[in-house]
Amino acid sequence: MQDLEFYEINQPEKGDTVLIGMSGGVDSTLVTMLLKEQGCKVIGVTMSTWNNDLPIEPSPDGLRHSCYGPDEKIDIETCRKFCAENDIEYHVISVKDEYRKNVLEYFKSEYRNGRTPNPCIMCNPTVKFGALLQGVEKLGIKFDYFCTGHYAKLVKCNSPINEILKTEEGSENSSKSNDVNLYPIFISQAEDGTKDQAYFLNRIKSEVLEKVRFPLSKMTKKEVYEEARKRNLQAAEKSESQDFVPPEIFEKIFADVKSIPGNITDENGKVLGKHRGIEFYTIGQRRGLGVSAKNPLYVKEINKEKNTVVLSENDGLLAEGLIATNWVWAGNFAPEKAFKGLVKIRLASKPVLALIERASSEYPEGSYKITFDEKQRAIAPGQSAVVYINGVTVGGGIIEKAF
């Protein structure tokens, strides 16, 4: 794999019509200005997700504190004002229904099934790079590229994908897919490793990426702020964008159904305490368990059927591997043979070497088994397992179970 050479694809050029996904933050605002200065025809667009379905009051300080909530109007007005001042066409696209179905309902369902969802990973393909672009198309807006302020690279390789994914012995993989693109666009990690967002983008299909570009791919966050301040952009003075939901909103999202308390047990079934509802716990959690023990205890398992939260000491969280389903592979290439790659099991974890191979027939078709060279800690069902070769994403699936 060391001899593979991935090269970054072209960025928009002077004269191109570029659609910018704007959030009101420094990243997308700078992207908008850079492309306008470059001579592109720039069109700004912001997605509206808030559905007035939760008892949340607007922020009293005029700042946005969560991804979902009534404060989205703050960012929309910021973007509208910026575009008006800079003679940029601007649109707001409602994606409320798609967001509720693909992000909010998914989020609640996963937690209530004892799993740990990642709403950003699901939002990207279905809403940001899905429903938003469909809404633009319905307005009849034509564009050459859709650009965002994500920190990631888009690359291609001189080798076809069926040569990139090989077995350890060197034989080629095959694929059952009828629409395989042998030279697809891959998502690669950004220059700024501290802000890299390739993990979050792993489920965007290669055919969608053909018209997507990330102009900040070679910039660090520090450089982005420096360039924004040079241009006196107001967005340079804003704080970083917030998580999906803060704790107080999390509580309100789950208020539609009464939580069912149950037992907290050790690995042998001994009752250690009571939990307030399995949706409030995640694998690896230590704080807020309400139990005391000689050694630190962590959530090892969440059992929906028994309505129990199982605790163990740290070593009990280690697992040799995992089964993942619902995969998205670069170029729609579904590898049939085993191969080695680096695998990341959560945003904050480091990619580690593993063997990736088809799972046995007891699992749904298209499932893969990942066996790590070194045991991994707190593998959480519902999170994403993302496979990298030379820092480039080749596929991502949803973790079903650890073993």
What is d(CA 229, CA 237) in angstroms, rounded to the nearest whole number? 8
Summarize pLDDT for 38-54 with one digit per residue, the tens: 999 999 999 999 988 87
pLDDT at 69: 81
Give the model's pLDDT for residue 374: 97
- Residue 175: which pLDDT band, with cuts at 50, 70 and 90? low
DSSP assignments along 50-70, one per residue: --S-S--PPPTTS---SSSST
How high does pLDDT run on average in the chain?
Answer: 92
Residue recorded with tokens 């939990």? 275
CA dihedral 285, 286, 291, 297 (to 10 degrees): 100
Q: Where are the alpha helices (DSSP H) in 152-310?
A: 161-164, 206-209, 221-230, 247-253
> What burial class does residue 170 get, using C-beta atoms within 10 Å of its C-beta: 0-12 exposed, 13-18 middle, 19+ buried?
exposed
Q: Which two tokens stand for residue 212?
A: 């997507």
Identify the residue whose tokens are 């990330």: 214
Summarize pLDDT for 77-93 with one digit per residue, the tens. 999 999 999 999 999 99
Residue range 113-126: mean pLDDT, rounded: 96
Q: So what's the pLDDT on residue 237?
A: 85
CB 184 within 8 A of CB 163: no
Residues 280-300 have pLDDT tens digits of 999 999 999 999 889 999 999
**Helix H or strand E encompassing 76:** helix 72-85
Q: Which amino acid is at 371?
A: T
pLDDT band at 202 (very low <50, low <70, confident <90, very high): very high
> For the domain 316-402, what is the CATH superfamily, name and number?
Translation factors (2.40.30.10)
In this structure, whether the domain defined by 6-152+189-247 belongs to CATH 3.40.50.620 is answered with: yes
Number of H helices, E strands in the chain: 10, 18
Ranges of each domain in the chain: 6-152+189-247, 258-315, 316-402
With a cut of 90, say whether residue 206 has pLDDT above it.
Answer: yes
Q: What is the CATH topology of the domain spanning 258-315?
A: SH3 type barrels. (2.30.30)
Nearest residue to 330 (alpha-carbon basis) of 151, 145, 156:
156
In angstroms, the Cα distances linking 140 to 135, 136, 248, 307 are 9, 7, 40, 50
- What are the pLDDT digits (tens) for 234-271? 998 876 655 666 667 788 889 899 999 999 999 999 99
**pLDDT tens digit string along 61-82?**
666 667 888 889 999 999 999 9
Helix (H, G, I), strand (E, B) or coil at 184: coil
Q: For residue range 89-112, list pLDDT tens digits in order.
A: 999 999 999 999 999 999 999 999
Q: For strands 308-312 and 6-8, give the pairing.
A: unpaired
Note the residue count of the chain: 403
Q: Residue 352 pLDDT more than 60?
A: yes
Residue 249 pLDDT: 77
Fold matches, 6-152+189-247 and 316-402: no
Would you call 351 helix, strand, or coil by DSSP?
coil
Q: Is the pLDDT of residue 193 over 90?
A: no
- Coil/strand/helix, residue 402: strand
Please tell me whether the overall predicted TM-score, pTM, comes out greater than 0.85 for this model: yes
